[in-house]
Amino acid sequence: MEFSWMIGGEAGFGIMASGLTMSKAFARGGLHVFDTVEYPSLIRGGHNSYQVRVSDREVFSHTGYIDLLVALNKETVHLHKDEMAPTGCIVFNGKEDPEDRFDVHADICLFPIPLSEIVQNLGVKSIMQNTAALGATFGLIGYDLTILEELLTEIFQRKGEKIIQSNIKVARAGYDFVMENHPGGTGIIIKPTDNHRRLVINGNEAVGLGALSAGLRFYSAYPMTPASGLLHFLAAEEQNHNLVVKHTEDELAAILMAIGASHAGVRAMTASSGGGFALMTEALGMAAMTETPLVVMVAQRPGPSTGLATRSEQGDLRFVMHASQGDFLRVVMAPGDVSECYWAAGRAFNLAEKYQIPVLIITDKYLTESHKTVEPFEPVTVDRGLLLNLEEMDAVSNYKRYELTESGISPRVMPGHPNIIFDANSNEHNEYGHDLDNPDNRTIMMDKRMNKIESIVKELEEPVIYGPPGADVTLVGWGSTKGPILEAMLLMTENNISVNFLQIIFIHPFPAEKVSDILKSSKFTIGVENNKEAQLGGVIRERTGIELNKKILKYNGRPFTPEEIANRVMEVMIHG
């Protein structure tokens, strides 16, 4: 069983809330869900859409077709009619079909439902049309309405019984209208499979949960889509986790506060999108020079400049790899789904503290704001590296913050101990942190900081291969392309194309030897990226000398669908 549902309408009419409610309703019935949202950079007006894909198997991305479209206005039909499945259905606000049937194919069924009249007759606000539409959807697909009633009770619990009952009444009215006027429904019946509940979570929330499990105690950020969701999530959890969350005046203040908190001894983090991260780059170098652990999430959106503020792209990989001035060590990791977002956050804090470096988690709008059903996460195992405890600090004499060691890692302390005084100096310095600009010291300290790379490279997880070894085609990707690629592989397998997928999560330091071995043994390689210049492909060529055979690129601000990838791969295999 598989079903794709979308609701669309003007911003301000509950599109986001309706979509997430549908995802949770399906998940509560034991089904697997993936959803994604599209919206313009407007507070009111413009077109919003929320697509929910549900299946009895795990699903990894949205899809390029819609089985049931709920259109709260005519614009939604005109914008999405070409995405309708051949026998799809459209719910619209009205009493009868328009004469032109919206110019949709004759096989598309139309369900006129007087949503505005339903809410008007019940004496509630017109904004509640979305709730009536949810009830109608449940009727059309034969889904258990009590699940929706339970969710509405939970969602509006803080607003009181009157609001709860109003929403239940509206949902029931939409449901009843369908049962009375369209008893045959869509012909698609969706039933709960069991009571097994999974999390419904997006990438921002998963990073937040992973950070909290890893011991995050300080988060500072200035809001910037699509990283803002992490700020919202952590602010709501502040009181529950002994956490300090700061909404700063700008991005430079955000990263400097996080560096200061980390220097004081707590696990600290900041996040932004490309434009905000641009303002952070000088301070990123400060964290590197002072060897202060720092975790930064960079949630990409299309640039340059403001670009497309609410859309998705993968154009910042090179920027994140090389941001700030001078040579210094960093780790750049690119999780590909919400489970990897959780894992990446925990891993980032351990790497940052163990090696006393900045660690950057690179995501994008599609990954951070799309929800997926997952099993509950395991707690993060915390490794704070060479951070001395109070007893160890009591025994210290002649402390050298930047002590030369074979590994390049020096013992770290929390400031304030009476026996320990040191400079955390962003100028070049000696072992004590004091300014020293002679050439010998410069070479020694630069080598000290960079020597950590040998240990890091040994510790980082290797690239992952999905699919059969020796496949005819090897797709290469990173970040949020993982989900659409995995789904595309299923489509291509159905068409007798043998395909596998090389996912690279740790992009810097780059696993050149392993990637080179995989690519040399591959028959035909295709890079799949949401950017114009095939940035990962360029990194691969630079680090391994291998040019991928073909590239499939998309850079219109929207993520790939599985169908797009599968069709373009098949075109490449046919036409070269």
Q: Where are the domains of the chain?
A: 2-182, 200-374, 390-459, 464-575
Whole-angstrom distance, CA of residue 549 vs CA of residue 475:
10
Please give the mean pLDDT across all residues of the chain. Answer: 95
The pLDDT assigned to 188 comes to 87
Question: Residue 137 has which token pair?
Answer: 């959807």
Encode pLDDT of 313-333 as tens digits: 999 999 999 999 999 999 999
Q: Where are the alpha helices (DSSP H) in 87-160?
A: 115-121, 129-141, 145-155
Give me the numbers of helices (H) and strands (E) for the chain, helices first please.
20, 20
Per cent of the chain over pLDDT 70 is 100
The pLDDT assigned to 476 comes to 99
CATH of 464-575, picked from 3.40.50.920, 2.60.40.1250, 3.40.50.1700, 2.70.70.10, is 3.40.50.920
Reply yes or no on whether the pLDDT at 574 is more than 90.
no
CATH of domain 200-374: 3.40.50.970
Encode pLDDT of 432-483 as tens digits: 999 999 999 999 999 999 999 999 999 999 999 999 999 999 999 999 999 9
φ, ψ of residue 302 to 5 degrees: the values are: -65, 130
Reply yes or no on whether the pLDDT at 575 is more than 80.
no
Q: Where are the alpha helices (DSSP H) in 403-534?
A: 439-450, 453-459, 482-494, 512-520
The arithmetic mean of pLDDT across residues 333-353, rounded, is 98
Q: Please, what is the angle between helix 228-237 and helix 203-213, to 10°?
A: 50
Reply yes or no on whether the pLDDT at 300 is more than 90.
yes
- The pTM score is 0.95
The pLDDT assigned to 576 comes to 65
Same fold, 2-182 and 200-374: no
CATH of domain 2-182: 3.40.920.10
**Tokens 């859409």 sit on residue:** 49
The pLDDT assigned to 105 comes to 86
